């Protein structure tokens, strides 16, 4: 399989054999494809790759650990299910192992998740990355250090040291090569129109896949190509409307976090206000009493 981002992927491939990293970038830019491409490079190099989508396991810490453990057992062709992930790694101390964790921000800045995704979990990850030849790749939308952990209480995430690498938007050349690999057999003018539309789309990799599927099934065949493109963009937007509701859910979740974080402060301020009101009332009574002593009404 050809690489979507040849230069960038080869660079990360080398970096991930030296250190644990945080790849961050917007959705729709081919984040999952990047991980697939890294796996493609890792296999012939003899690197064992474990991978688990954190979004799928945000409510199931035990399921995550069992999945990673099972993947490692398969690499070892082991039938001993009693060994932990760490125990299995101990048996092969010189073997390079990657642990890829896409959607890692699903357990950050979030309140609705398994409570075991707390400081203990990050200590566990830190212990894994500190092992010789064991490296983590945590994928997020923003740099990892900008997040907070709310599973137990508010913490910074400094104990897990990850080298940040930004996943930049796809270049025109990368979009072109990926489109050429689809073998769509378009006229040059249609190919260029589609390429321009993909490159300028906010989620180019996702739209590329959608548009190619439409062409392969000959959707809207009787229309002008520019009209077909316009129609596909509208269909794609409609199909992905759920992501808008997901964004609303994220904002609601963040608001809950802010309220919970600020609650102690609000309670303190409320208490101070009550004290101030009581003191003000007492002060007014004292002032009235002094005024009467001086004979003033």
Segment 123-156, tens digit of pLDDT: 899 999 999 999 999 999 999 988 877 655 555 5
Neighbours of 162 (CB within 10 A): 22
Rounded to an integer, the average pLDDT of 227-251 is 75
Query: What is residue 115's predicted lDDT score, i.e. its pLDDT?
Result: 87
Which residues, other chains included, contact 72 with Cβ-Cβ below 8 Å and sequence gap of 6+? Answer: 48, 50, 85, 88, 89, 97
Residue-averaged pLDDT of the chain: 84
Measure the CA–CA gap between 146 and 173, rounded to whole angstroms: 31
For residue 106, pLDDT beyond 70: yes
| DSSP track, 110-174 | -SSS-TTSSHHHHHHHHHHHTSTTEEEEEEESS-GGG--B-SSS-B--TTS--EEEE-PPPPHHH
Query: What is residue 147's predicted lDDT score, i.e. its pLDDT?
Result: 83
- Bridge partners of 49, per DSSP, are 98
Rounded to an integer, the average pLDDT of 26-52 is 96
Query: What is residue 292's predicted lDDT score, i.e. its pLDDT?
Result: 66
Tell me the three state secondary structure of residue 101.
strand
Neighbours of 35 (CB within 10 A): 22
Measure the CA–CA gap between 76 and 54, rounded to whole angstroms: 24
- Bridge partners of 78, per DSSP, are none
Q: Full-prediction pTM beyond 0.75? A: yes
Query: What is residue 291's predicted lDDT score, i.e. its pLDDT?
Result: 65
Rounded to an integer, the average pLDDT of 233-256 is 64
For residue 63, pLDDT beyond 90: yes
Query: What is residue 19's predicted lDDT score, i.e. its pLDDT?
Result: 96
For residue 49, pLDDT beyond 50: yes
Measure the CA–CA gap between 197 and 230, rounded to whole angstroms: 9
Q: Look at the block and give the residue holding tokens 């690498």.
A: 165
For residues 86 and 158, the model is more confident at 86
For residue 259, pLDDT beyond 90: no
Rounded to an integer, the average pLDDT of 68-96 is 87
For residue 256, pLDDT beyond 70: no
For residue 266, pLDDT beyond 70: no
82 burial level (CB within 10 Å; 0-12, 13-18, 19+): exposed
Asked if 33 and 205 count as a contact pair (C-beta separation under 8 A), the reply is: yes
């Amino acid at each position: 399989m050809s690489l979507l981002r040849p230069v960038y992927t080869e660079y990360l491939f080398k970096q991930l054999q030296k250190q644990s990293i945080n790849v961050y970038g917007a959705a729709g830019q081919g984040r999952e494809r990047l991980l697939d491409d890294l796996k493609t490079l890792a296999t012939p190099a003899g690197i064992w790759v474990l991978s688990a989508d954190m979004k799928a396991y945000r409510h199931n810490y035990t399921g995550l650990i069992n999945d990673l453990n099972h993947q490692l057992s398969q690499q070892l062709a082991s039938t001993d299910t009693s060994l932990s992930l760490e125990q299995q790694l101990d048996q092969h101390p010189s073997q390079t192992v990657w642990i890829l964790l896409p959607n890692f921000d699903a357990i950050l800045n979030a309140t609705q998740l398994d409570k075991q995704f707390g400081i203990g979990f990050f200590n566990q990850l830190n212990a894994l990355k500190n092992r010789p030849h064991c490296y983590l790749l945590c994928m997020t939308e923003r740099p990892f250090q900008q997040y907070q952990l709310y599973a137990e209480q508010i913490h910074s995430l400094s104990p897990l040291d990850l080298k940040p690498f930004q996943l930049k938007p796809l270049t025109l050349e990368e979009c072109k090569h990926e489109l050429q690999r689809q073998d769509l057999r378009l006229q040059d003018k249609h190919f260029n129109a589609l390429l321009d539309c993909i490159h300028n789309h906010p989620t180019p990799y996702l739209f590329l896949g959608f548009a190619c599927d439409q062409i392969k099934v000959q959707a809207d065949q009787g229309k002008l190509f520019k009209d077909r493109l316009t129609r596909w963009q509208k269909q794609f937007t409609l199909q992905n409307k759920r992501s808008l509701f997901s964004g609303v859910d994220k904002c609601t979740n963040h608001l809950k976090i802010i309220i919970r974080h600020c609650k102690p402060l609000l309670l303190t301020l409320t208490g101070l206000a009550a004290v101030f009101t009581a003191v003000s009332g007492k002060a007014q009574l004292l002032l009235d009493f002094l005024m009467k002593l001086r004979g003033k009404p």
